């Protein structure tokens, strides 16, 4: 099976579009009274725009673009702190590529690199660990970002560093988890989402059980989906079928990868190294209880927050520094489309991102700007 | 007077110092390799025969490009081949016949002379393929840490025969957009060759001179409006430039865009788009519809154009924008990127 072409087969897509249209008509959704489906994951947002799926949906279907882009939701003060660490003499700051351009209040890592900080792009935390072994006289700090998808690899890098006694390696931990913001969105009175497309890679780690509250407490259907266009269309059809039948359960479209209980070994690695913080700030959404992770005391030697004396919580001012007029918070709740924000495309562009969602290519605003600019008015 | 054989193993500051060490180094490593009478006389400037320039209406094309690449040697080429092909291609896509090149190098102290000879040899080979000589040059050596191994700057002059006036402003609605082969080979090959992806691939850079491919195109489709060398920023960036200059739209058909499965696979893993990957031997040509078939046939018969195809057309709207019909019949914008493509997290 060709995992790229088969999941992009226009003939199969055609059948799914027909089914989606039929279900939309059954539900009675119209442009005036649409069904709103939130794709939680930034990878899904990107795929929807890249393949032009939003343009092919019936009028009664609207996508709301969720908070699932870890780079986008990183609060600006955390970027500042990361730059502060990178500027320490002797530090090599290792990061995923897409974190390079995220703006803090005084610039991005890309700018810090230009000014002389030793910032290097890696593709995995294990590459950062290898770098630490290669440069024993330097402190290699890995900018640990991302949801449950990237957390197991970060955890493994700490476990391995601990086993090998690599003392010059640490994490600046900004890992976040998917279920808490989902709950925050569902509890928000402005929320108007009828169903969810659940994240694929995150669910590969945590399984589908952690989403049961979406169906059981909030009576919203959710279908975990893969990232190819046919996966997304299939998941949309599954959510619509539930709505049309008056059901609300967790379904798994991505069963070729995702198991209900997830990956136990990955979960065990996460649990061994990380624990939830009481609360963590999300750019655009504010503080969310138990939504961020920190390194456990047992692995304090690999925690850059402890090594560099950077705390999170009582020790620092956390008032979110956001620009007036920025409506990212409303966009991630599905209450506003990106082009309706007064800053969109004028002062806030991919070159000069102001709001969180313009920062990474997976942010909803960046995806609109990059792929849909010509239809902004129509959308 | 016979010089003693040149046996140094690494480049030192003395090789750029202007004295005997530099004279021997330049003579042995560069002049003997580039081997042509214009360079061999070692004057401060090369003196060129005006060649085809004396014909009425002919014009001189002049271009320059600096080359930095890591790693210096990659599958399908190296910085030397790149430095020659890049400048030859900048001349060729303007309809110019390359006349002569220059070569200025900045070498970091400690550079391996065996490696340098290998790179210089591939410059000579690429120049020979492009039927052009490297007729003047300069050598500088900088201290360790002041450069990343080797930087090469080449400049080139060429002759544009009377009657050729390729320009984006000539583009008309209805014209056809052609490429001579699969996109993104160079960008993907170099990325994989850097080794930090830990991916084993068989990818090869498309680094190659396009002078004869362009001649074949212009003979078969003399009405060709313009052509561009789709290097940094890839085909997407070049088409955006053309759309803006022409004040017209470009509409691509995703299903017709040639990309090798290996390149597509790398892009899928890293979240990159092959439309924005660098090429070093891929031209975009805009031709009038009635000559598109002849143009494609000419490219298809050339070794560097076997997989040539039409990937889209010029439209009236949206002005200055590139759009693409996706495989599903969806539509999206193909915008300029803010900066480099950065691999994404997950």
Q: What is the pLDDT of residues B30-79, one digit of tens each?
A: 999 999 999 988 889 999 987 778 888 999 999 999 999 999 999 999 99
Predicted pLDDT at A67: 86
Contact A159, A303 (CB under 8 A): no
- The 10 Å CB-count burial string (b at 16+, else e) for A298-335 is ebebbbbbbbbebebeeeeebeeebeeebbbbbbbbbb
Residue of A nearest to B334 (CA): A371
pLDDT band at A320 (very low <50, low <70, confident <90, very high): low
Q: Quick check: A314 pLDDT over 50?
A: no
Of the candidates A315, A310, A278, A275, which has an alpha carbon nearest to the alpha carbon of residue A296? A275
Instruction: Give phi and psi for A75, each to the nearest 5.
Output: -70, 145
Question: Mean pLDDT, to the nearest integer, of A67-93?
Answer: 91
Placement of tokens 């924008």 in the chain: B321
Predicted pLDDT at A4: 56
| Angle between helical axes of B261-270 and B185-193 (0-180°, round to 10) | 60
Question: Mean pLDDT, to the nearest integer, of A123-130?
Answer: 93
pLDDT band at A2 (very low <50, low <70, confident <90, very high): low
Question: Quick count: other Cβ atoms within 10 Å of Cβ B343?
Answer: 17
How far is Cα B281 from Cα A361, in angstroms, rounded to an integer? 28
Q: Quick check: B149 pLDDT over 60?
A: yes
DSSP H or E run through A310: none
Q: Percent of chain A, pLDDT > 90?
A: 63
Q: Quick check: B2 pLDDT over 70?
A: no
Q: Quick check: A361 pLDDT over 70?
A: yes
List the alpha helices (DSSP H) in B35-102: 37-40, 79-92
Q: Quick check: A327 pLDDT over 60?
A: yes
pLDDT band at A72 (very low <50, low <70, confident <90, very high): confident
DSSP H or E run through A205: helix A200-206
Q: Quick check: A38 pLDDT over 90?
A: yes
Predicted pLDDT at A379: 37
What token pair was written down for A171?
């994490």
Predicted pLDDT at B342: 67
Report CB contact under 8 Å: A51, B332: yes
Q: How far is CA B130 from CA A262, B97, B212, B342, in A?
A: 58, 9, 8, 34
Lowest-confidence region among A348-362, B125-139, B214-228, B332-346? B332-346
Predicted pLDDT at B219: 97
Question: Quick count: other Cβ atoms within 10 Å of Cβ B297?
Answer: 14
ipTM: 0.73
Q: Quick check: B311 pLDDT over 70?
A: yes
Going through A32-151 in order, the beta strands assigned E by DSSP cover: 35-41, 61-68, 91-95, 118-121, 139-144
How far is Cα A291 from Cα A274, in angstroms, rounded to an integer? 12
Predicted pLDDT at B52: 76
- Maximum average pLDDT range among A330-339, A365-374, B64-73: B64-73
Contacts of residue A100 in chain B, CB cutoff 8 Å?
342
Question: Quick count: other Cβ atoms within 10 Å of Cβ B219?
Answer: 11
Tens digit of pLDDT for each residue in B100-133?
A: 999 999 999 999 999 999 999 999 999 999 999 9
pLDDT band at B239 (very low <50, low <70, confident <90, very high): very high
Q: Quick check: A151 pLDDT over 50?
A: yes
List the alpha helices (DSSP H) in B130-203: 185-193
Predicted pLDDT at A360: 78
Q: Quick check: A336 pLDDT over 90?
A: no
Question: Quick count: other Cβ atoms within 10 Å of Cβ B325?
Answer: 17
Report CB contact under 8 Å: B331, A55: yes
Question: Mean pLDDT, to the nearest integer, of A201-220?
Answer: 96
Report CB contact under 8 Å: A150, B323: no
Q: Percent of chain B, pLDDT > 90?
A: 79
Which residues, including other chains, have CB under 8 Å from residue A182's CB and lie 6 or more apart? Answer: A40, A66, A196, A211, A214
Interface residues on B facing A, Cβ-Cβ cutoff 8 A: 196-198, 261, 264-265, 268, 270-271, 273, 318, 321, 323, 325-333, 335, 337-339, 342-346
Q: How far is CA A193 from CA A34, A50, A65, A214, in A?
A: 10, 23, 10, 11
pLDDT band at A232 (very low <50, low <70, confident <90, very high): very high
Report CB contact under 8 Å: A55, B337: no
Report CB contact under 8 Å: A361, B332: no
Contact A29, A20 (CB under 8 A): no
Q: Quick check: A248 pLDDT over 60?
A: yes
Tens digit of pLDDT for each residue in B180-217?
A: 999 999 999 998 888 766 677 889 999 999 999 999 99
DSSP H or E run through B324: strand B322-325
Contacts of residue A57 in chain B, CB cutoff 8 Å?
none
What average pLDDT is seen over chain A? 89
Residue of B328, B335, B343 lying closest to A10 (CB–CB): B328
Q: Percent of chain A, pLDDT > 70?
A: 94
Residue of A nearest to B262 (CA): A4
Predicted pLDDT at A1: 42
Report CB contact under 8 Å: B344, A360: yes
Question: Dihedral angle at the C-alpha atoms of A230, A232, A234, A239, nearest 10 degrees?
Answer: -170
pLDDT band at A18 (very low <50, low <70, confident <90, very high): very high
Which residues, including other chains, have CB under 8 Å from residue A262's CB and lie 6 or more apart? Answer: A203, A204, A205, A206, A207, A208, A209
């Amino acid at each position: 099976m060709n995992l790229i072409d088969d999941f992009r087969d226009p003939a199969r897509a055609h059948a799914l579009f027909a089914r989606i249209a039929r279900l939309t008509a059954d539900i009675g959704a119209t442009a005036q009274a649409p069904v709103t489906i939130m794709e939680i994951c930034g990878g899904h947002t990107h795929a929807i725009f890249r393949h032009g799926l939003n343009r092919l949906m019936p009028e009664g279907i609207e996508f709301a673009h969720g908070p699932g882009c870890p780079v986008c939701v990183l609060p600006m003060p955390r970027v500042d702190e990361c730059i502060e660490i990178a500027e320490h003499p002797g530090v090599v700051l290792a990061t995923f590529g897409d974190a390079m351009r995220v703006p803090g209040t005084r610039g991005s890592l890309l700018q810090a690199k230009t000014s002389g900080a030793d910032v290097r792009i890696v593709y995995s935390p294990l590459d950062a660990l290898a770098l630490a072994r290669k440069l024993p006289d330097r402190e290699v700090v890995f900018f640990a970002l991302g949801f449950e998808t990237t957390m197991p690899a970060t955890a493994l890098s700490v476990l391995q560093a601990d086993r090998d006694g690599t003392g010059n390696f640490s994490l600046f931990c900004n890992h976040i988890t998917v279920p808490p913001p989902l709950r925050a969105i569902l509890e928000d009175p402005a929320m108007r989402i009828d169903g969810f497309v659940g994240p694929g890679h995150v669910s590969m780690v945590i399984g589908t059980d952690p989403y049961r509250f979406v169906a059981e407490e909030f009576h919203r259907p959710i279908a975990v989906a893969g990232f190819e266009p046919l996966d997304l269309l299939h998941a949309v059809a599954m959510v619509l079928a539930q709505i049309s039948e008056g059901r609300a359960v967790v379904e798994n479209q991505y069963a070729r990868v995702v198991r209900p209980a997830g990956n136990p070994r990955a979960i065990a690695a996460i649990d061994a190294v990380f624990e939830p913080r009481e609360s963590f700030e999300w750019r655009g959404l504010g503080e969310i209880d138990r939504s961020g992770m920190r390194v456990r005391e047992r692995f304090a030697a690999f925690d850059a927050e402890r090594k560099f004396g950077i705390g999170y919580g009582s020790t620092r001012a956390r008032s979110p520094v956001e620009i007036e007029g920025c409506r990212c918070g409303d966009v991630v709740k599905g209450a506003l489309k990106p082009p309706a924000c007064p800053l969109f495309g004028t002062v806030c562009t991919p070159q000069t991102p102001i709001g969180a969602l313009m920062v990474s290519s997976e942010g909803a605003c960046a995806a609109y700007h990059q792929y849909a600019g010509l239809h902004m008015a129509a959308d | 007077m016979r010089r003693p054989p040149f046996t140094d193993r690494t480049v030192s500051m003395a090789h750029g110092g202007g004295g005997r060490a530099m004279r021997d180094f330049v003579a042995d490593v560069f002049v003997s390799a580039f081997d042509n009478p214009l360079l061999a006389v070692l004057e401060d400037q090369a003196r060129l025969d005006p060649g085809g320039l004396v014909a009425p209406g002919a014009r001189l094309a002049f271009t320059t490009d600096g080359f930095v690449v890591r790693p210096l040697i990659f599958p399908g080429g190296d910085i030397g081949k790149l430095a020659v092909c890049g400048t030859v291609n900048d001349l060729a896509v303007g309809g110019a016949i390359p006349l002569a090149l220059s070569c200025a190098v900045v070498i970091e102290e400690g550079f391996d002379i065996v490696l340098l000879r290998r790179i210089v040899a591939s410059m000579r080979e690429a120049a020979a393929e492009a039927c052009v000589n490297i007729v003047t040059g300069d050598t500088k050596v900088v201290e360790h840490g002041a450069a990343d191994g080797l930087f090469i700057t080449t400049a080139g002059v060429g002759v544009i025969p009377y009657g050729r006036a390729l320009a984006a402003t000539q583009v008309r609605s209805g014209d056809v957009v052609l490429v001579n082969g699969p996109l993104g080979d160079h960008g993907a090959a170099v990325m994989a060759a850097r080794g930090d992806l830990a991916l084993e691939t068989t990818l090869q850079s498309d680094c190659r001179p396009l002078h004869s491919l362009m001649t074949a195109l212009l003979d078969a489709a003399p009405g060709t409006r313009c052509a561009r060398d789709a290097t940094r920023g890839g085909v997407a960036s070049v088409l955006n430039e053309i759309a803006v200059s022409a004040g017209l739209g470009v509409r691509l058909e995703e299903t017709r865009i040639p990309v090798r499965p290996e390149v597509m696979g790398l892009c899928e893993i890293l979240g990159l788009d092959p439309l924005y990957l660098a090429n070093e031997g891929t031209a975009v040509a805009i031709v009038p519809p009635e000559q598109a078939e002849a143009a494609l046939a000419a490219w298809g018969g050339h070794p560097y154009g076997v997989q040539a195809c039409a990937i889209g057309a010029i439209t009236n709207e949206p002005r200055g924008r590139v759009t693409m019909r996706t495989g599903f019949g969806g539509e999206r914008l193909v915008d300029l990127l803010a900066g480099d493509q950065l691999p994404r997290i997950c």
